[in-house]
Structure 1
């Protein structure tokens, strides 16, 4: 599986499927492998961040810089694990863990007001002033029972987003 020019064996497929907690079917894993090979233009077994930026939908994503931090240098198994958060079969817990990692830009296991403000800035662009962003975020935190100076951990995110009806899914085209 290290060399993208080789084909996936049944063992590889099952290993990847187990690694991604069965978020994808075997057919979907084969399709993802084909896409991975297309993105791995240097045939080195991983995808550098500049390859992700060549995908138009990714390049225009307002959170692309945060996502690049998570994506840079992934091998195939890690690539599928990353994408598994977007599977309809992924648990809500898995999806919230993913969102937490996007916000936790310094990877210290905590999300601060400034981490959330940075993400909101990326998402809202010029459509909100900095003061509007701060006001909205302060209100959301207060409604969830947190202060502006709180550092949120994963369990806090679970509490806040656990009943949100979060829908974060993409369909993997299968031949």
Structure 2
């Protein structure tokens, strides 16, 4: 599976399916593999930041730069695992874990006010001032029972988002 010019075997498909906790069907994994091969222009088995940025929808996404931190250099198995959070079959915990990892930019297992502020900055762009962002974020934290100087861990995210009805889904076209 390292070289994208090879075809997926049944064993590879089942291995990837197990790795992504069965978030995708075998047909979806084959479709994702075909898309992965299209993106892997230099045929090295990994997708670089430049290759991700070649996708017009990704390049104009305000979150693209922060997502690249999670995406750059993924092999096929990691690519599918990354996308599995967006599967309708992914559990709420898988989705929350994805969001937590996106916020945790320094990968220390904690999300600070500044981490959340950076994410809100990415999401809101020029539509909010820095002061408005800080006020909104402070209010959201206080309503959830946290102070501005709190460092949130994954269990805090589960507590906050656990009953939120979180929807993060994409449809994988199957040929």
Runs of 4+ in structure 1 deviating by more than 2 angstroms, as ranges, are none
Cα shift at 1:40? 0.3
**Cα distance in 1 between the residues matched to 2:60 and 2:107:** 24
Deviates more, 1:31-40 or 1:52-61: 52-61
Tell me which residue corresponds to 1:10: 10
Unaligned runs of 5+ in 2: none
Say which SS state the counterpart of residue 121 (structure 2) adopts: helix
**Cα distance in 1 between the residues matched to 2:4 and 2:102:** 27
Cα shift at 1:142? 0.1
Structure 2 residue 130 is the aligned partner of structure 1 residue 135: no
Cα shift at 1:61? 1.5
Cα shift at 1:17? 0.3
**Cα distance in 1 between the residues matched to 2:2 and 2:126:** 43
TM-score normalised by length of structure 1: 0.99
| Deviations 1:32-71 (CA, angstroms, capped at 9, x unpaired) | 0000000000000000111001111111121111110111
| Deviations 1:125-162 (CA, angstroms, capped at 9, x unpaired) | 11101110000000000000000000000000000111
| Deviations 1:67-109 (CA, angstroms, capped at 9, x unpaired) | 1011110000000000000000000000000000000001100
TM-score normalised by length of structure 2: 0.99
**Cα distance in 2 between the residues matched to 1:4 and 1:36:** 8
**Cα distance in 2 between the residues matched to 1:135 and 1:101:** 24
**Cα distance in 1 between the residues matched to 2:3 and 2:127:** 45
How do residues 71-82 of structure 1 correspond to structure 2 at under 5 angstroms?
Answer: 71-82=71-82
**Cα distance in 2 between the residues matched to 1:62 and 1:165:** 23
**Cα distance in 1 between the residues matched to 2:162 and 2:169:** 16
Structure 2 residue 51 is the aligned partner of structure 1 residue 43: no
Please give the root-mean-square deviation of Cα atoms over the aligned residues, in Å: 0.5
Unaligned runs of 5+ in 1: none
**Cα distance in 2 between the residues matched to 1:153 and 1:108:** 9
Say which SS state the counterpart of residue 122 (structure 1) adopts: helix
